[in-house]
Each structure stands twice: as C-alpha cells, then as structure tokens.
Amino acid sequence: MHTNQGDPMNIQFKKGVLEICVLSVLAHKDCYGYELVAEISKKIDISEGTIYPLLHRLKDEGHVTTYLQESAGGPPRKYYRLTESGRKEEHEQKEEWMQFAASVNALLERKNDAAE
Amino acid sequence: MLQNESEYIRILKDRLGGTLPREELDDIVSDYSEHFRMGLANGRTDEELWRSLGSPDDVAREIKAMHLVKRAENMKSCGNIFHAVIATVGLGLFNLVFVLAPFLLLICMVLVVFIIGVMFAVFGPFAFAYSILQLAGLPVFAIWLNPVAGVFISIGITTTGLLLVIWDYYLARFFYRVGIKYLKWNIAVIAGTEDVS
C-alpha cells in the first residue's frame, strides 16, 4: 500500500477535481492567488504549483477574470473573480460531481452491507 | 543553485520566453512572484515555497503544453498539432504510451487510407482507358475478360478512390478535434502527477 501523497492514482484523482474546487471557492468569494491556494490546500493535500497553471487556463477559457486591488501596506494583489460563464461552469460541474459522488457512495455502501 | 523567487522567475521566463506572448508570460510570472512574496510575509522560507510550488521546469512544461494545445486548436495545422503532441509527451514518460503511441497510430491510419485512395484514383482511369481500347478492338493484350464490365469496374475503382481520399480528409479532421480534447484532458488530469513525492 502506498502513502496517500505518493500514490499516483490518488494524485490524479486530486488533480482531476481541482478545477471544481477552484471554481467553487471563487463562487463563494473573489480571491487572490495565495489565498486561494491556502484555502484549497487546507482541505486537499496537493502541490501548490498546480493551481496557478489551472487558474491561467480558466482565465484563458474566460471562466475567470483578474483585477488588481490595493492591500494594506503592500503592493496591490491580483484577485480572481468568476465570470458569468465561470458561474455556469461551476454550477454544471457541481451538479455533475454531486450526482457522481452520490452514485459512488451508494455503490460503496451497498458493498459494505453485503460484507457484513 | 539558490532556491528563491528571482531564480524561480528567471527559470520560468527562460523556458517560456520563446513560446508565450509577452503579456501572458508577465501575467503568469506575476502569480508566482506574488506567491513568494505572500509566503515570505507569512513566515515561510524560500526553499519551502519552492518545494511546495514544484520545480519551475515542470510548471513551465505544463504551461507550455497548455499553450501549444490551445494554439493547435485555434490554428489547425500539421505543425501545430505536432508541437502540441510533443510538448504533452514531454510532461511524463507515461505519455509516451498514452499520447505518442495513439498519435502515431492515428497518423498511420490516415496515411494508409490516403495512399489506398490515391492508388485507386490513379489506377482507375488507366483501367478505364484500357477497357475502352480493348472495346475498340485495338491490338492490346487483354487484361479484362469482359471489356464492358471493365468499363464499369474501373469507374467504380476511380470513384471509390476519390471517396476514400475525401473521407480521409474528414477522418483526419475528426481525429484532430478529438485529439485536442484528449490532450487538454491529459494535461488537466494526468500531466505532472507521476513523479510528485
């Protein structure tokens, strides 16, 4: 058995759901990069570097935009905000994930019942 | 080698400079310098931040692959898809099997269909001319047992050849479209996950 962090299957799993996580956090509130990374790595143990290329792609696809905002006693920070299409995307992916997770859970729980 | 912000940024700029437009590169670089700045302000060290971000070479490779796939999507050409595939293959050994091998296989399929189509389309008219000569009773040795049937068969062969070539064009376009989708998915999910420890 591998450790959680090192198991490639697990890492791919995390990388695959990263997009919906980023969209979801941004649907809640606008974030600057570091804040978003901190928010997500609190819950999911993933290399912080993978989030920035993802943000870049989302921006490229028009799902997020950025704007600069002054911060208290420091240079301005780059904030990420969901666009209209980003909100739609978030909604769709969330629905999809919920359904998928519910199906998988139902299947796994049934297996446990049978084992008992 | 010093593992700090300026070195990280230098490597990113060096690896991406030739590929990405200036504006896009600046945009990406600003994210990473902000990350270092915020991290240091939060009491983390340069080395720690470097490690958690992952090597700048890997980051650059992924961004480059993303960019090249996008370019191949926007401007369809053999050269662009080739560069996109090579960049994606470069993301991990894994992709030799899951990107390069299927890519070569599809190219071979398209080529084989094209060659067969062209052969039919070239051979057909010759066979047609021959059966006409044979019908006219010219002293050529007979390749058709029945020259009338030969006329129709050779028309059939020519048409099949032309249809194959046309169909091959649509097949190639279809492969292109699906290929782009697959490369995007591959980069988003698989790339860079095999050697994270």
Query: B73 in contact with A at a CB cutoff of 8 Å?
Result: no
Query: B27 in contact with A at a CB cutoff of 8 Å?
Result: yes
| Angle between helix B147-185 and helix B101-135 axes, rounded to 10 deg | 170
Which residues in chain A are contacts of B28 at CB distance < 8 A?
52, 56
Residue pair B52/A52 in contact (Cβ under 8 Å)? The answer is no
CA distance B78 to B62: 21
Segment B28-84, tens digit of pLDDT? 999 999 999 999 999 999 999 998 888 899 999 999 999 999 999 999 999 999 999
B34 contacts A77? CB cut-off 8 A: yes
Residues near B137 by beta carbon (within 8 Å), at least 6 away in sequence: none
A54 contacts B188? CB cut-off 8 A: yes
The pLDDT assigned to A2 comes to: 36
Residue B159 phi, psi (nearest 5): -60, -45
The pLDDT assigned to B194 comes to: 59
SS3 at position A65: strand
Nearest CA in chain A to B32: A52
Which residues in chain A are contacts of B32 at CB distance < 8 A?
52
pLDDT band for position B195 (cuts 50, 70, 90): low
A5 contacts B31? CB cut-off 8 A: no
Please give the domain boundaries of chain A with CATH numbers for all domains. 8-115 (1.10.10.10)
Segment A32-72, tens digit of pLDDT? 999 999 999 888 887 787 899 999 999 999 999 999 998 87
B119 DSSP β-pair partners? none
CA distance A35 to A51: 11
Query: A77 in contact with B at a CB cutoff of 8 Å?
Result: yes
Residue pair B36/B8 in contact (Cβ under 8 Å)? The answer is yes
Residue pair B122/B99 in contact (Cβ under 8 Å)? The answer is no
Segment B123-154, tens digit of pLDDT? 999 999 988 888 888 766 777 778 888 899 99
Label residue B9 exposed, middle or buried (CB < 10 Å: 0-12, 13-18, 19+): middle
Residue pair B64/A107 in contact (Cβ under 8 Å)? The answer is no
Query: A87 in contact with B at a CB cutoff of 8 Å?
Result: no
Look at residue B196 and tell me whether its pLDDT is greater than 90: no
Label residue A104 exposed, middle or buried (CB < 10 Å: 0-12, 13-18, 19+): exposed
